[in-house]
């Protein structure tokens, strides 16, 4: 397999999932204000860590995740990283364009969130499950 084919294979599994999360989240964030209350979250997670460096911190974390996702051999970890990256990139787009992350899902008993936040949480859950359920002695 050529170097180009390996690079395509490395990204072909998870890149469509990343793009799907970004696209769907951005569509919902633009439709939501017509039907729901939208909260402008200026912090990093659930309104915490409001600093002038929030965008730099988020960008650094996203770049680290791209590095790990591209090197992962396990399909489940690739999709876990894809959900985290898609959600993170979509929220980063919000920070750049709106100055905050637009949250529109309010369950009443939990801080408001959006599809990107749900994707990030699901991705973290997949990665945790992979680590816990992986047979002992097996490395990714």
Q: What is the pLDDT of residues 30-81, one digit of tens each?
A: 999 999 999 998 876 655 556 666 667 777 877 777 777 666 777 788 889 8
pTM for this model (two decimals): 0.78
Q: What is the pLDDT of residues 78-113, one digit of tens each?
A: 889 899 999 999 998 998 899 889 999 999 888 889
**Catalytic, out of 25, 94, 103, 106:** 103
117 is catalytic: yes
What is the maximum span of the chain, computed from C-alpha positions, in angstroms?
53
**Catalytic, out of 25, 94, 106, 117:** 117
Beta-strand pair 101-103/39-41: antiparallel
In angstroms and rounded to an integer, the radius of gyration of the C-alpha atoms of the chain is 16
Average pLDDT over every residue of 25-30: 97
Residues with Cβ within 8 Å of 37's Cβ and at least 6 positions away in sequence, in order, are 104, 106
């Amino acid at each position: 397999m050529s170097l180009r084919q390996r690079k395509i294979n490395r990204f072909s599994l998870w890149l469509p999932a990343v793009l799907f999360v970004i696209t769907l989240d951005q569509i919902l964030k633009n439709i939501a204000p017509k039907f729901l209350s939208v909260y402008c979250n200026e912090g990093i997670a659930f309104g915490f860590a409001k600093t002038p460096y929030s965008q730099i911190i988020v960008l650094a974390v996203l770049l680290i995740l791209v590095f790990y996702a591209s090197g992962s051999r396990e399909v489940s970890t690739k999709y876990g990283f894809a959900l985290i990256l898609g959600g993170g990139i979509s929220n980063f787009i919000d920070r750049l364009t709106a100055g905050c992350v637009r949250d529109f899902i309010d369950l009443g008993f939990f801080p408001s969130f959006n599809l990107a936040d749900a994707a990030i949480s699901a991705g973290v859950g997949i990665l945790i499950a992979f680590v816990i359920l992986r047979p002992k002695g097996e490395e990714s």
